[in-house]
Structure 1
């Protein structure tokens, strides 16, 4: 039993844990997850559609064929436009390019001529653009034509996915 009494006890060391590295890693993880959450949010373009009479929106009884331009989008960045009705167009259907020397110049020219014509009346009328993307056109073409509407400051336009039989024949012929 004497051996047990003389037993040397080991010196107790203080247990100190350095958490500096843990704090650095946790801040890096917080920043990483904040950035990935922000990048994972869907980015979408707001596309307003008509309410179809569910609100008291003003009605315009003077929609005329001389105010409407129809722009049809087809495959391979093809863009065909006409003014008025297809049966009796004011401007016959023609193929045109995107950009400032193409559809933008035509839109601005038609908008300015209509504003000059309607400036004599009390309320100036604006041009109406009907955008018709075909099933063969790509999403980039739709974004490009919507950008042209914004650049040309066309306030009244609509994206209509339906084609008349005459328009389908026109696209097939071109």
Structure 2
């Protein structure tokens, strides 16, 4: 049992006979029990933050199997190049044929929606989005781009390395610094 003991006074000098002080005892058992009950209650009732993760399925890189490569029509593709300073460059089709559109990562949702509607109207197929992060882009921009694809319900997507011509497009656009 936990207790607080304050001892009484002993004999001090002097000729008077005094009665010994009785010690004061405070029983702390109930307070300790209450503390453990409160700790247990709050541990059991608090919700822990659930980990936030995005499922990303990537195919194996196997150049030995050419039939495993995905053939996509250039008319149904939109390529998003992630540059520095939260800037992106995107274009449809083959790089170099059409000039890239340079904009902020915040405008990606509108671009995805508009291009998906245009591709659906032109070809009748869903749009394939190819995301190509550069060495100067940050991880947050890649996550933002993937989130925007989820929001716009685009299921055909890929994360691919930059081609030299696309790297040159980023440098010419001034968003590769």
The TM-score range, normalised by the shorter chain, is: 0.5 to 0.7
Q: Which residue matches 2:104? A: 97
Which deviates the most, 134-143 or 73-82? Answer: 134-143
Alignment of 1:18-167 (within 5 A): 19-31=29-41, 33=43, 38-39=48-49, 42-50=51-59, 63-87=72-96, 89=97, 91-99=98-106, 102-119=107-124, 125-160=125-160, 162-167=161-166
Contact 2:78/2:130 (<8 A) preserved:
yes
Report the TM-score, using the length of structure 1 for normalisation: 0.66
Q: Which runs of 5+ in 1 are unaligned?
A: 1-16, 54-58, 120-124
Deviation track 1:104-141 (CA, whole Å, cap 9, x = no partner) reads: 2222222112222344xxxxx21010111122212221
Pairs aligned (count)? 143
* Structure 1 residues 168 and 116, CA gap change in structure 2 (3 angstroms): closer
What do the CA deviations read for 1:55-83 (whole angstroms, capped 9, x no partner)? xxxx8976200111110111111111111
Q: 1:43 to 1:147 in 2, by over 3 A?
A: closer
- The CA RMSD measured in Å over matched residues stands at 3.1
Greater Rg by CA: 2
Work out whether residues 76 and 123 of structure 2, in 8 Å CA contact, stay in contact via their aligned partners in 1.
no
Q: Which runs of 5+ in 2 are unaligned?
A: 1-26, 63-67
TM-score by length of 2: 0.65
Distance (Å, rounded) in 1 between the aligned partners of 2:137 and 2:163: 17
> 1:83 touches 1:92 (CA, 8 Å); kept in 2?
no
User: How has the CA–CA distance of structure 1 residues 61 and 159 changed in structure 2, closer, same or farther, with 3 Å as cutoff?
Assistant: closer
| Cα gap change, 1:35 to 1:45, in 2 (>3 Å) | farther
